[in-house]
Amino acid sequence: MAVTLNSGVVMPLIGFGTFKIRGKELVYSVLDSALAAGYRSIDTASVYRNEGDIGESLKELLPKYGLKRQDVFITSKLGPKNQGCGRCRESCLQSLHSLQCDYLDLYLIHWPGTQGMQPCDARHRDLRLQSWGEMVALQKEGKLKSIGVSNFLQHHIEDVIDTTKHTPAVLQIEYHPHLVQRRLVDFCRSKGIHFQAYSSLGTTTDSNTLLTDSVVCKIAKQRGVSPARVLLRWAVQQGIGVIPKSTNSDHIRDNMDIFSFSLSDQEMVSLNQLDTQSHLCWNPSQVL
């Protein structure tokens, strides 16, 4: 399953998340499992400090699966400390170098703010607009196939569109049954922006509240699937992209199997009703 972005580029609805996966040996082995399981999209970021290991691993692994660079969709992100036109360009070129790529399929501004400033600092706006302008230029140069944003709220996105007349292709943001952002999803849909969820499985934590949620577990048991598959299916059934992360090859395979079943309307409603507006990651609502 795939979506066509506003850039005309086709992006798989499921990708492989790589936050907290670092070190050549581990990166190589999880990417080996992911490619074997059929993932053709990989999500990284300069702040994950694994782009170099991903680049090296893909160089070795793609031939093993008879794949070429163009068969894999690669996303990376501009780190919050590198906002502004000069730094954005430098950081993007560094990501390309580390990933050993001539182009990225998707490049996102990771966060609407700039690291080291108070959330209410008026410079955030100017710097992220500078970054965006530079990304538009990098896209025209062919170094970025698609450009988008992450952790931006509606007002951040409207400002980007109104000021630059360039609409992001993707919004990547935290989204799961404990944080249902219906109005933001509807807004993105109205603008033709693909909505991609992160932390769909409750992120990497010792006290995972999503995978152990009683409603999620009950639906999983009734359907004979894992709670992870219920959570991922809930998102993709809404046309929302997912990028589950795992270092366990059984989980990596399991998470791919979300197109062979569907949830009933009642199950979707039950999952939507779990919304508590709980953020597991960062919350951008304070960023001016």
Ligand X SMILES: NC(=O)c1ccc[n+]([C@@H]2O[C@H](COP(=O)([O-])OP(=O)(O)OC[C@H]3O[C@@H](n4cnc5c(N)ncnc54)[C@H](OP(=O)(O)O)[C@@H]3O)[C@@H](O)[C@H]2O)c1
On whether the CB atoms of residues 14 and 232 are closer than 8 A, the answer is yes
**204 forms part of the interface with ligand X (CB under 6 A):** yes
Torsion angle, CA of 238/243/248/250, rounded to 10 degrees?
Answer: 40
Residues 15-54 that bind ligand X (CB under 6 A): 17-19, 43
Distance CA 39, CA 280 (A): 25
Stretch that binds ligand X, among 11-19, 64-72, 87-95, 187-195 (CB under 6 A): 11-19
On whether the CB atoms of residues 277 and 179 are closer than 8 A, the answer is yes
Supply the minimum distance, in Å, between the C-beta of residue 78 and ligand X: 11
DSSP E strand boundaries for 79-193? 106-109, 147-150, 170-174
For ligand X, the closer of residues 40 and 266 by Cβ is 40
Choose among 103, 111, 166, 102: nearest CA to 133. Answer: 166
β pairing state of 106-109 and 41-43: unpaired
Supply the minimum distance, in Å, between the C-beta of residue 237 and ligand X: 17
Distance CA 89, CA 78 (A): 9
For ligand X, the closer of residues 18 and 139 by Cβ is 18
**243 forms part of the interface with ligand X (CB under 6 A):** yes
For ligand X, the closer of residues 8 and 95 by Cβ is 95
Stretch that binds ligand X, among 82-90, 98-106, 180-188, 239-247 (CB under 6 A): 239-247
Stretch that binds ligand X, among 49-57, 58-66, 133-141, 202-210 (CB under 6 A): 202-210
Please identify which of the residues 28, 39, 48, 65 carries the catalytic annotation.
48
**245 forms part of the interface with ligand X (CB under 6 A):** yes
**201 forms part of the interface with ligand X (CB under 6 A):** yes
Q: Is the dihedral of CA 278, 280, 285, 286 positive or negative?
A: positive
For ligand X, the closer of residues 198 and 234 by Cβ is 198
Six-digit token string for 57: 């691993």
**251 forms part of the interface with ligand X (CB under 6 A):** yes
Reply yes or no on whether 48 is catalytic. yes
Residues 99-138 that bind ligand X (CB under 6 A): 110
On whether the CB atoms of residues 14 and 243 are closer than 8 A, the answer is yes
β pairing state of 10-12 and 16-17: unpaired
Six-digit token string for 137: 């230029």
**244 forms part of the interface with ligand X (CB under 6 A):** yes
Name the site residues for ligand X (rule: CB under 6 A). Answer: 17-19, 43, 110, 150-151, 172, 198-204, 211, 226, 228, 243-248, 251, 254-255, 281
> Which residues are the active-site residues?
48
